[in-house]
Amino acid sequence: MSRTTVRDVAAKCEAGEPITMLTAYDAPIARQVDAGGVDLILVGDSAGHNHLGYDDTLPVTIEEAVSNTAAVVRGTEEAMVIADLPFLSYGASLERSVENAGRFLKEAGADAVKLETPPGGEFTVELTDRLVELGIPVMGHLGLTPQRTKEMGGPTIQGREGADSAFADELVETAERLVEAGIFSLVLEGTTEGVAKRVTEAVDVPTIGIGAGRYTDGQVLVITDLLGLGAEDFRLSEQYADLDSVIREAVASFVGDVEGREFPAAENAYEPIDGE
Contact at 8 Å (CB) between 65 and 43? yes
Decide if residue 222 touches ligand KIV (CB under 6 A).
yes
Nearer to ligand KIV, 234 or 254 (CB): 234
Decide if residue 45 touches ligand KIV (CB under 6 A).
yes
Q: How far is the CB of 56 from ligand KIV (least distance, A)?
A: 11
Q: How far is the CB of 251 from ligand KIV (least distance, A)?
A: 27
Residue nearest to ligand KIV (CB): 44
Provide φ and ψ at 224, rounded to 5°: -70, -30
Decide if residue 23 touches ligand KIV (CB under 6 A).
yes
Decide if residue 217 touches ligand KIV (CB under 6 A).
no
Q: How far is the CB of 73 from ligand KIV (least distance, A)?
A: 17
Contact at 8 Å (CB) between 76 and 102? no
Determine the Cα–Cα distance for residues 53 and 43; give it in Å rounded to an integer. 16
Which residue is catalytic, options 189, 232, 249, 271? 189
Decide if residue 20 touches ligand KIV (CB under 6 A).
no
Query: What CA–CA distances, in Å, run from 119 to 141, 240, 264?
Result: 10, 33, 59
Return all residues near 9 (Cβ < 8 A) that are at least 6 apart.
19, 39, 40, 80, 184, 185, 206
Return all residues near 252 (Cβ < 8 A) that are at least 6 apart.
none
Q: Identify whether 249 is a catalytic site residue.
A: no
Say what angle helices 166-181 and 122-134 make with each other, to 10 degrees. 20
Decide if residue 220 touches ligand KIV (CB under 6 A).
yes
Q: Among residues 59, 107, 53, 49, which one has the least CA distance to residue 83?
A: 107
Decide if residue 46 touches ligand KIV (CB under 6 A).
yes
Stretch that binds ligand KIV, among 2-10, 43-51, 88-96, 199-207 (CB under 6 A): 43-51
- Interface with ligand KIV in residues 176-215 (CB under 6 A): 187, 189, 210
The catalytic site residues sit at 189
